[in-house]
Structure 1
């Protein structure tokens, strides 16, 4: 830029005919207390809790603003907007506040009075956003904060408002931290929150607070009893509605699935307290979340008198988990074991139920056949079966000689399938039971009948084998045997027969892994099963006869001809829960249905 251009800029900067310019001054912002300004005025007040002291504060605030507005002749009262028992850190649930803002947007308000920024909002973002939205209205709506003496209609208000809003939010944060610490200390000292609960009344002079109301307790016991024996939430609700029972502390007789679920889920009915099951992560939005290890929890058993035994409560939760995971409906089947005969120690399997693990089956087996160690440690010794030295001879592996006439059981994913040879060997029964011996790792199949809770139909109407779901038992089996989920496993069975008794036993240790292989034939292809026997069997027929471990149970099948295969089963102690439930139902349901208690 040359010197002449710079000179032109300097001349223009000095101005042009300044003395002739007329200035139309902006309308000055009226002071809110200027008696010449006619204003439509609203007031907002809020208290954060609903205890007696805060209720008094709430009423005082309302009265104060009514009197203040009445003192100014130029102020017309629109409304006193008030929220009671609501936190200021979130706009959610502040019904009166939302109505006030809506009225302001509709042009009904010129000025909003409020005690302080913390009464208006303790969330910086909400506070600033609302103030700016109000200022953008036509005409703009002003907010006057009395404590801070800030009028948002003035140009210098926003900087101070931002700073004070930050302080208000931090104050709220500090209070939230103090409250969290206070709750922690309260629960740690055993001072639990004990609101009125259906089934209990409150005695404030007792440390544990809760006193059982027997008439309500009878209803709760019946709800648990029906759930334990297999009723669903909806079915229980329908029965309770028919019986006309009270469902809550208000005396309502309204029953639905959620009412039943809430009764079942509440641990306090068994005398137990779990404190801090939910928490509020953010003091800004106050959203409640389930405490999944995010905060300490405090648990106290036998805090107060129970309505139902704690074991029944735990049992009901187990049923709930099983129904959610596996869609299994009905009561948890008892761990039932055979106590006599060749099947002594075998545990009956419910193929659909997924709640039992290996340790559960082991407990049940030992309930009648207690023994230590692994039972598969029997070996043939020299001289046991022959005077000849059989060292170097191999015991032929039965898996190498399977034919279509050999009973077999195939596992694939969560399903099982018995071949027709198995069905024929047991003389074509429609229903069978599966039994499991956990220490010897044996499965047994015996005849059963329709109506037996452990029986399942294994043949079609045409007499062919059916692929059945066995999701409840498969997980236990795969974990125990360390099977690969990607493979099928086939077991070859041994039939025992004598004195009108028939049984097929499958040795889990002899499972043959199978996989599918696709063979391309050009225009078509075949999918064939390929066995995955260990490479050892490429050069051997089996293990050395003196090294092979076998099950004594299979040896006894050959030794004896009468085994008491159909010996009755006995439940283990785990069945006490359903016994309790059936007792409750039998003693109360009929009488209550007739209107008597």
Structure 2
């Protein structure tokens, strides 16, 4: 007998709405404004939310960056949201807004395709999930990339023509105000510039001037305290003499947009008397000579830093850094200080970063005297003869002489006993020789030693 079972019709379900986002970008190179960016965001927000089949997933917008760089924070955030399944469709104005680099464009579109995400390019009327889309994208992206290169070259040509006429393309400089046509001196800022130059020629470091300006409450044109690095840059800035050296840097190419220092790859232009001077040429030249002198002397140029003959001359074979000096008193009530030299990397980052050996200063003096053939250590002879000492492994000191000679000296650390007080040495001596009274002294020595290790 037949059995018939009725299967009830399913209730119609509402179609799942697509999660739709948009990507917008405005380049400062085309002189677009904040209002243009706001207009794009408003347009896409309204456009997406009007469609009942779409769920609004946001608008990602980068402003002031070119389409040829990877440093687009919002673009990267959009990619991460795509990975997390927050987006099904991406709307964008054109290929050039999305990317001008053909390789990057294809890689990104392919990646989105693997995730099942569709990219719609409005201007070109292209859907990234359609058939044979890669050929069309390749052609159009190549055109866009070439357009980017052409625009970049035109901009460079205009800037270089300006350089040849002594026209600058940089207008933010402390001490001056650009009124649209020329630089005018800002009196109170000019006084700060003169103070910086005066301090430097009087032997003060940039760090000293940094502290002085901070105490005076003087800020840079960005509103922050003057860092020492900015003070050094001011000391090298030829514009304060009323002259300009143009094309000191250049953009590598239109793809990376990386700025490089011009080391002779392109011509530079020195334009004289282009604006009022704050520093006279003679003072500026003296500062450049002093900068070179201090650069040559290194740490020894700064009289405010306590140095010894070993400063900047003890090097780590493991990481290449210089050794630093530290000291501690043998006893709290003692004036005698025990000095030891430690690799800077090890000192700052720990033994996990550098396993170099610490070297007592007495060992450096002892073995330096030996390789120099001296009965006792002499700082002047050391400075005249030895360029540096490389600490290698656990037991080697490699002496590099100024004349090119290299000598390797084996050594053994006595750091533990070197820092003992005289009382401790006597106690240990008595203990070693079997003195009957050594037990009490030994007990005190062991107690003291344990206390030092804490």
Q: TM-score per shorter chain, which class?
A: 0.5 to 0.7
TM-score by length of 2: 0.62
CA–CA distance in structure 1, aligned partners of residues 138 and 285 of structure 2: 53
Tell me if the contact between 1:229 and 1:330 (Cα under 8 Å) persists in the aligned partners.
Answer: no
- 1:117 is displaced (CA, Å) by 0.6
Distance 1:104 1:71 in 2: 22
For residues 380-529 of structure 1, the aligned pairs below 5 Å read 466-467=380-381, 469=383
* Residue 390 of structure 2: aligned partner: none
Which residue is equivalent to 2:227? Answer: 256
Going from structure 1 to structure 2, the CA distance change for 1:319 and 1:155 (only over 3 Å counts) comes to same
Given the superposition, is the C-alpha separation of residues 97 and 487 from structure 1 closer, same or farther in structure 2, using an over 3 Å criterion? closer
Q: 1:147 to 1:230 in 2, by over 3 A?
A: same
Cα deviation digits, residues 522-554 of structure 1 (max 9, x gap): xxxxxxxxxxxxxxxxxxxxxxxxxxxxxxxxx
**Contact 2:18/2:88 (8 A) holds in 1:** yes
- Among 125, 131, 156, the alignment partner of 1:155 is 131
Distance in 1 (alpha carbons) for counterparts of 2:265 and 2:380: 48
Contact 1:271/1:302 (8 A) holds in 2: yes
| Partner Cα distance (1:75, 1:465) in 2 | 80
1 CA distance for matches of 2:378 and 2:15? 100
CA contact (8 A) 2:159 2:169 kept: no
Does 2:246 align with 1:246? no
The answer as to whether partners of 2:26 and 2:32 remain within 8 angstroms in 1 is no
Equivalent residue number for residue 284 of structure 1? 255
Which runs of structure 1 show a deviation greater than 6 angstroms over 4 or more consecutive aligned residues?
Answer: 462-465
Q: Does 1:136 align with 2:114?
A: yes
Asked if structure 2 preserves the Cα contact closer than 8 Å seen for 1:247 and 1:259, the reply is no
1:353 matched to which residue of 2?
none
In 2, Cα distance between equivalents of 1:51 and 1:180 = 14
Gaps of 5+ in 1: 1-34, 332-459, 472-485, 489-514, 517-597
Give the equivalent residue in structure 2 for 1:377: none
> 1: CA distance between counterparts of 2:379 and 2:20?
84
Q: Distance in 2 between matches of 1:465 and 1:199?
A: 46
CA RMSD of aligned residues (A): 3.0
Match of 1:86 among 60, 65, 80: 65
**Matches of 1:270 and 1:186 in 2, distance apart?**
20
2-structure distance, mates of 1:50, 1:62: 20
Q: Cα offset for 1:154?
A: 1.5
Identify the residue that residue 169 of structure 2 maps to in structure 1: 193
Per the TM alignment, residue 304 of structure 1 is displaced from its structure 2 partner at its CA by 1.2
Structure possessing the higher relative contact order (Cα contacts under 8 Å, 6 or more residues apart): 1
Which residue of 2 is the match for residue 62 of structure 1?
A: 41
Match of 1:273 among 217, 226, 244: 244
Partner SS state of residue 112, structure 2: helix
Q: Could you say which structure has the larger radius of gyration?
A: 1
Q: TM-score, normalised by structure 1?
A: 0.47
CA distance in 1, matches of 2:93, 2:154: 24
Gap regions ≥5 residues in structure 2: 1-13, 304-373, 386-400, 406-454
